[in-house]
Amino acid sequence: MNARSPAAPLDDLDRRIINALQGGFPISDEPYREVADSLGTTETELLARLQRMLDTKVLTRFGPMFQIERLGGRFVLAALAVPEARFAEVTALVNALPEVAHNYRREHALNMWFVLATETPDGIAQAIARIEADTGLPVFAFPKLREFFVDMRLKA
Amino acid sequence: MNGPDDLDRRLVIATQAGLPLVPRPYDLLAEQLGVSALEVKARLAAMLDGGRIRRIGAVPNHYAIGYTANGMSVWDVDDARIEALGEAIGRLDFVTHCYERPRRLPDWPYNLFAMVHAGDRATVLARVGEIATLLGPACRGHDVLFSTEILKKTGLRIGGDG
């Protein structure tokens, strides 16, 4: 699993780049040069390091983070209680849906937790119905009722 | 809120895999979309102002930067107090996501979800303890669900391109 493999070691500049790019990226003609200037490096170096950190999966993404609900779409967290003997089979069935954006195994009777992301609100109910039909298991859906806003503040 | 108009939608599709890593990324997007760079920048700024874009930035892989323990803490919180308490928990610097979600009784009594990342499980549990202290008697029970495997992780994908 890429996300679990040991990553290339990060040096001080890598960490400063990650921390500087948590938000507030300039919307200007040469935004990378502005950020590079503020970090005391060059645009060429910044672009090369960003590319390398994306290639090695240190970064999962760099760009605009969309609030899907405000674009008409929906994100819903959902869970299944999967019998251990069926775990691999059910994983394959659930992951096969393009609407499944993330899927994690967790330690609980509800042992599979995934996020459904769809372009329209109707897509969620359809995806849930499909998963229930394919797996024969009831889906527990946990749509968010309220978000308590947090910044992305993990420090590299 | 209405859905995105056509140019907004095309901007989402053009950037959902990431912002181009070239010296003038907005010029490149403008060229791809057949509009001016001024228009691209104005649209992105408007989407940021309106909340349709949360931020433009980097998403680190938690594991790669050393946050190898990921605990989804879940709490059964008095409905009358969840708003104020949820906001207080969202302000804790180790909580990366915090949501009120519906209970699913009798299987699932929890209505507040707070994601806690740290370098190891003991630290996650210590931070969960801080949340428990903050909630005090307004909380009737809680659990922590550690992730043990990433089964799938892709970004948002719209536009029917797979």
What one-character-per-residue DSSP string does B87-116 give? HHHHTSTTEEEEEE---BTTTB---EEEEE
* Count of pairs with CB atoms under 8 A, one residue in A, one in B: 249
Residues A100, A115: contact at Cβ < 8 Å? yes
Q: Give residue B18's pLDDT.
A: 94
Window B:127-156, CB contacts with A under 8 Å: 143, 145-156
Q: How many independent structural domains does chain A possess?
A: 2
Look at residue A48 in the predicted model and tell me its pLDDT.
Answer: 98
What whole-number percentage of chain B has pLDDT above 70? 93
Residue-level pLDDT at B60 = 86
Which chain A residues are within 8 Å of B158, Cβ to Cβ? 71, 73, 119
What would the mean pLDDT of A87-107 be, rounded to a whole number? 96
CATH number (domain holding residue A12): 1.10.10
Residue that the structure tokens 């499980």 belong to: B121
Per residue in B44-75, pLDDT (tens digit) is 999 999 989 989 999 888 878 888 898 999 99
Average the pLDDT over A102-117 and give the result.
Answer: 96
Q: Which residues of A touch B161 (CB under 8 A)?
A: none
pLDDT at B159: 54
Same domain? For A92 and A132 the reply is: yes
State the pairing for strand pair A74-80/B112-118. unpaired
Share of chain A above pLDDT 90, in %: 72
Mean residue pLDDT of chain B comes to 90
Does this complex have an ipTM over 0.95? Answer: no
A72 in the same domain as A51: no
Indicate yes or no: CB of A32 within 8 angstroms of CB of B23.
yes
DSSP B67: -
The residue with greater pLDDT, A24 or B39, is B39
Rounded to whole angstroms, the Cα distance separating A31 from B159 reads 27
Residue A94 in 3-state DSSP? Answer: helix
Chain B nearest CA to A30, separation (Å): 5
CATH fold for domain B69-146: Alpha-Beta Plaits (3.30.70)
Between A23 and A95, residue with greater pLDDT: A95
Contact B89, B103 (CB under 8 A): no
pLDDT at A118 over 80: yes
CA A59 to chain centre: 11
A-contacting residues of B 57-96, CB under 8 Å? 57-67, 70, 72, 82-83, 86-87, 89-91, 93, 95-96
N residues, chain A: 156
- Domain of A32? 2-55
Distance in angstroms (rounded) separating the CA atoms of residues B51 and B54: 6
Give the domain CATH number at A75. 3.30.70.3460
Q: Residue A91: inside a domain, yes or no?
A: yes
- Written as six digits, the tokens of A128 are 């849930």
**Residue A2 scores a pLDDT above 70:** no
Q: At which residue do the structure tokens 């949340």 appear?
A: B131
Higher pLDDT, A42 or B96: A42
pLDDT at A8: 61
A10 contacts B145? CB cut-off 8 A: no
Confidence of residue B1 (pLDDT cuts 50, 70, 90): very low
Residue A7 resides in a domain = yes
Q: Are residues A78 and A134 in the same domain?
A: yes
Note the pLDDT of residue B140: 96
- Tell me: do A105 and A129 sit in the same domain: yes
> Which residue reads 């209405």 in tokens?
B2
**In contact, A93 and A131? CB cutoff 8 Å:** yes
Instruction: Specify the pLDDT at position A4.
Output: 43
A50/A77 same-domain check: no
Q: Is residue A29 located within the same domain as residue A86?
A: no
Specify whether A73 is located in the same domain as A122.
Answer: yes
Interval B110-127: pLDDT, tens:
999 999 999 999 999 999
Q: How far apart are CA B15 and CA B25, in angstroms?
A: 10
Q: Which of A60, A73, A113 sits opposite B61 (nearest CB)?
A: A60
Closest residue of chain B to A62, computed from CA coordinates? B58
pTM for the whole thing? 0.80
Residues A72 and A122 in one domain: yes
| pLDDT averaged over every residue in chain A | 90
Report the candidate in A97, A63, A54 with the shortest Cα–Cα distance to residue A78.
A97
3-state SS assignment for residue A134: helix
On whether the CB atoms of residues A102 and B157 are closer than 8 A, the answer is: no
Q: In whole angstroms, what is the distance from residue B145 CA to residue B151 CA?
A: 15
Q: Do A125 and A78 share a domain, yes or no? A: yes
Chain A contacts of B103, Cβ < 8 Å?
none
